Structure 1
């Protein structure tokens, strides 16, 4: 078993986060615990608490890494996309692909609950807002004449719809993708919602 001085605090934090990530790549978060993380890395639970503050804070830090990864994938996917409608579709499909590939990490990142008496840390809220901003930016490109509040609401409506589809893909719902794929549901959501939201004309949201 490793001793306390085998790793610096930063090294131990990275080790714990990598262990949580590796575990969630295979198993649901319900099967994880502070004691299990401690056992896997060879340190005591108290040492991990000293590094993160609490088990909940360890999970928040792990979720932050998931959100960073999602933002990087999303940003790369739309960075040079000319058509905002296509960019929205790409953003939605990045979420869907991640939820399918890493269902336990995705679920923990978006379904994790913190105690009611504790505020979400600013560094974590910033990561959530940054993901929302990618959707907001594309909607602004589609219909910049709308009020900013309307654009923000629309981005959250689309996000909520995509989130529900991803939840099904991640195995968190009673309805499966057996008869209708997640891609088809995303296409239907975006096609129909954007056509009713945009003031003029119909949009081509087809991508190869």
Structure 2
């Protein structure tokens, strides 16, 4: 495909991200094709790399967009008015993953090369998701234990993630477990109780 210049750099970035994200949602990381995204936006594949710098940075940007949507999803769940915010948080984790399986797994399937740190702006946006968890864990803990909230929150994310991936891949079903969400909520409550939460 020949070179084009119909759009500004910002417009191109937005177009590529939108189409790349849609493509990832449809087929997942293993079958993702930058050439297909270029075809969808009507530009040469080199334009994608010119805008994002490399294939890895393109995927990192697409995955960061998923983090943005995930954070929005959690905030909406928490805004439903439920008094049980911890359960709403865990349920939001599970529901986003199940409703966006290809996008969610792409976050964990893609690895940046060791010598390519994630750009600061993307890292900050991704951090918004953890910030939500830290906020809710902090609120659940007594004042004297709140300095431990960030570390505990990271551990709880790992716990919930493990339960979620086992549920979505069928591993829990093979083990005869039919209520992984309830198990995840129970493990989070146990950890919070051990840390001093009521």
TM-score if structure 2 supplies the norm length?
Answer: 0.86
In structure 2, the CA distance between the partners of 1:198 and 1:54, relative to structure 1 (3 Å rule), is same
Number of equivalenced pairs: 195
Q: Does the alignment pair 1:30 with 2:30?
A: yes
Q: Secondary structure at the match of 1:180?
A: coil
Deviation at 1:50, TM superposition (A): 1.0
Aligned residue in 2 for 1:14: 14
In the alignment, what sits opposite 2:145?
146
Structure 2: distance between partners of 1:30 and 1:89 = 32
Corresponding position of 1:124? 122
Q: Tell me which residue corresponds to 1:181.
A: 179
Change (3 A) 1:2 1:91: farther
- In structure 1, distance between residues paired with 2:167 and 2:21: 19
Assess if the C-alpha contact under 8 Å between 2:20 and 2:37 holds in 1.
Answer: yes
Deviates more, 1:45-54 or 1:69-78: 69-78
Partners of 1:190 and 1:4 in 2: how far apart? Answer: 52
Unaligned runs of 5+ in 1: 204-208
Structure 1 CA distance for aligned equivalents of residues 120 and 168 of structure 2: 27
TM-score by length of 1: 0.82
Match status 1:72 vs 2:72: yes
Shift of 1:117: 0.8
Tell me, in whole angstroms, the C-alpha distance in 1 between the residues paired with 2:82 and 2:184: 20
For structure 2, the residue ranges without an aligned partner over 5 or more in a row are none
Q: Cα distance 1:138–1:159, how it changes in 2: closer, same or farther (>3 A)?
A: same
Distance in 2 separating the partners of 1:4 and 1:146? 58
Looking at structure 1, the residues matched to 10 and 181 of structure 2 have their Cα atoms a distance apart, in angstroms, of: 40
Q: For the Cα contact (< 8 Å) 2:29–2:109, is it kept in 1?
A: no
Deviations 1:39-59 (A, max 9, x none): 333321111111111111111
Report the Cα offset of residue 9 of structure 1: 2.0
Deviations 1:107-131, CA, capped at 9 Å, x for gaps? 1224421110111221122123221
Q: Residues 89 and 186 of structure 1 are in contact (CA less than 8 Å); yes or no, is this contact kept in structure 2?
A: no
Match of 1:190 among 185, 188, 191: 188
- When you count helix as a share of all residues, which structure comes out higher? 2
CA positional deviation for 1:170: 4.0
Between the aligned partners of 1:87 and 1:162, the Cα distance in structure 2 is 15
Q: CA RMSD in A?
A: 2.3
* Helix, strand or coil at the partner of 1:26: helix
Give 1:102's aligned residue: 100
The answer as to 2:51 corresponding to 1:55 is no
Deviation at 1:160, TM superposition (A): 0.4
What's the CA shift for 1:104? 1.1
